[in-house]
Amino acid sequence: MCGFAGRVDWDGMAGDGGVGGIVDRLRHRGPDDRGVWTSPERRCTLGHARLSILDLSPAGHQPMLDPGTGNAIAFNGEIYNFQALRAECERDGYPFRSHSDTEVILALYRRHGRDCVRRLRGMFAFALWDAGRGELFLARDRVGKKPLNYALTPGGIVFSSEIDPLVRHPLVDQAMDPDALELYLQLQYIPAPWTIYRSVRKLPPASWAVLDRAGLRVSEYWDVDYRPKAALSVGEAVEGLEEKLREAVRLRMVADVPVGALLSGGVDSSLVVAMMAQMSAEPVRTFSIGFDEQAFSELPYAQAVADRYGTRHHPEIIHGEVESLLAPLARHYGEPFADSSAVPSFHVSRVARKHVKVAMNGDGGDELLGGYPRYWLAPAAIRAGRLLGGLNSPAQLARAAGSLAEASTIPARIRRRWLLRAAHPELQSVTMYSEYWGDASRTQLTGAGGGVLEAWRGEWLARAREAASNPVDRMLWIDNRTYLPGDLLVKMDIASMHCGLETRSPLLDHEVIEFCASLPAHLKVRNRVGKALLKKLGEKYLPHDLLYRPKMGFGIPLEEWLRGPLRPVVERTLGSEEVMAPLDPEVIRRTLAQFYGHGAAHASRVWALLMFGTWKRTCVLSAAA
């Protein structure tokens, strides 16, 4: 796990082309080593900040070269099947000089070219300079665990693992992208390929890109087809899931440093800890976060799992002192990011990093097997969605989606219920963000029409219809391509890597994902219970009351904090027209007055504004001063 950066300029570069400065700003991701390499003709520079996990020796130094071809790579991530892949390459005569997974990618590229990414099982983003072709190859893992941001320049490209170090490069324009602002206010995050900066883009998950003198070409190399279904009994499906998940956990326990686990007390992380404990010769180190407000704290459940499996458990309480974390949050995310669970994610990562360099987590269970309430459709609703799903085109649904949240008349409410609960339940995966800044309120705030959101919704609804034949699977497909990589995985990557902690997610192994996609909907949602199959498997490992308790999520007492300890910084930030521009100050004042004066449920809107303003002050105005 690391951070990397680079630049290509077809006319050649002086010095390191500014790459060294980006790497210096990425040292929190990789404090153990630093490297910068420039190609002989000075057209490509790669830089790397290393967090040493495999092969701690100098042989694992990056950027790494293939002496036989002159190719060079800068890599961030872990390849969990690297040992098997290495054995294949050794049989073909590749002369390995290290024991790192980075060198395996170089060997695979020599054998398979760009198709090497299809053989990688893990989380990764990398930049590889192909010396023979004189071109740059960029790639990102299937689900988007590892980030890769880039900016095209007049002479080529500049790229980085994080956004803020990238926009400090003198060739990168810092103008704001109004479409990205629209997306942020509605979604609470900015999805790929957008960033808040007009000139900077994210390489989407499951994609590679090739840069040569003709320009940049981006291609998708993987997707999941939810239509073919395996004919399995419940027992067979449980056995299949257990086999896949245990293998994924086993592969992720391979490291040359201690491996711990982030234990929330929910089903997913608890099951991962249980499997780790059974495979480990020593007690697993586990880490949990809770709050003074008991309604938001899962510490008792985490403690019960820790006691059951004899882990070395490290719980910690978060109090309301959040203000000091706001600027670091904004700087590390590099753009507005309003998922408030980033706060406990930062805290639990800091706690874990005091003891380990690597920690497992339970990310992905909800998006694989239907953990959110919107998935919990009755069998009749699933059948109706399958039969009626073609009544309206994706474009029609995308146009209708924006008005559903504001439905106030009885006919409008009836239409909303018909669309969301019968004909097109998958609409819930593109309308679930209406509590933030929905179409009507956002138009007042920005003065824009929201055309980018309609196009965004339409694209994902259309692609989901091609990938899945029932509404549960369509929601799962959409969430795996939007909410999971755009919000949840960005949140965890930045929260963990800000302090040099690598996090691994067994449930997001692509073979686990493909297995879950092949399961019929009734094995995922059963009797209006989500994650039915995962909970059935969990009965072998965990107590019944933990498995079947109400879902809590990784939330924080947001409203209480905004009304209490954070109120001064909220009023100071949102009251500055310079900081909040280009947003309408009157709409902001009215929103605050409603939130503080009349008890209006605007906590999510106020938090989104606060994180926008904090980003603007920290990353834009302060940098320009």
Q: How far apart are the C-alpha atoms of 511 and 97, rounded to whole Å? A: 30
Q: Please say whether the dihedral angle defined by the alpha carbons of residues 270, 271, 276 and 279, taken in this order, is positive or negative.
A: positive
307: exposed, middle or buried (C-beta count within 10 Å: 0-12, 13-18, 19+)?
Answer: exposed
The angle at the Cα of 348, spanning 567 to 289, to the nearest 5 degrees, equals 75
- Side-chain half-sphere CA neighbours of 329 within 13 A: 26
Q: Dig out the tokens for 367 from the structure.
A: 């998006």
Map tokens 């920290």 to a residue: 618
Torsion angle, alpha carbons of 574, 575, 577, 583, to 10: 40
- Which residues is 260 bridged to in the sheet? 285, 359
Q: How far apart are the C-alpha atoms of 352 and 354, rounded to whole Å? A: 5
Tell me, what amino acid is at 111?
A: R
Which positions ≥6 away from 354 have C-beta within 8 Å?
Answer: none
Q: How far apart are the C-alpha atoms of 23 and 37, rounded to whole Å? A: 12
Nearest partner of 42 among 163, 140, 155, 121, judged by Cα: 155
CB-based contact 344:556 (threshold 8 Å): yes
Which positions ≥6 away from 622 have C-beta within 8 Å?
Answer: none
- Catalytic residue (one of 2, 44, 89, 116): 2
Q: How far apart are the C-alpha atoms of 255 and 80, rounded to whole Å? A: 10
The b/e string for 12-35 (b: 16+ C-beta within 10 A; e otherwise) is ebeebbbbeebbebbbbbbeebbb
CB-based contact 143:513 (threshold 8 Å): yes
Which positions ≥6 away from 581 have C-beta within 8 Å?
Answer: none
CB-based contact 573:613 (threshold 8 Å): yes
DSSP code, position 506: G
Map tokens 């997707």 to a residue: 223
End-to-end CA distance of the chain: 33
The angle at the Cα of 549, spanning 544 to 555, to the nearest 5 degrees, equals 135
Could you confirm whether 2 is annotated as catalytic? yes
The angle at the Cα of 567, spanning 562 to 571, to the nearest 5 degrees, equals 120
CB-based contact 221:207 (threshold 8 Å): yes
Neighbouring CB atoms inside 10 A of 551's CB total 12
Which residues are annotated as catalytic?
Answer: 2
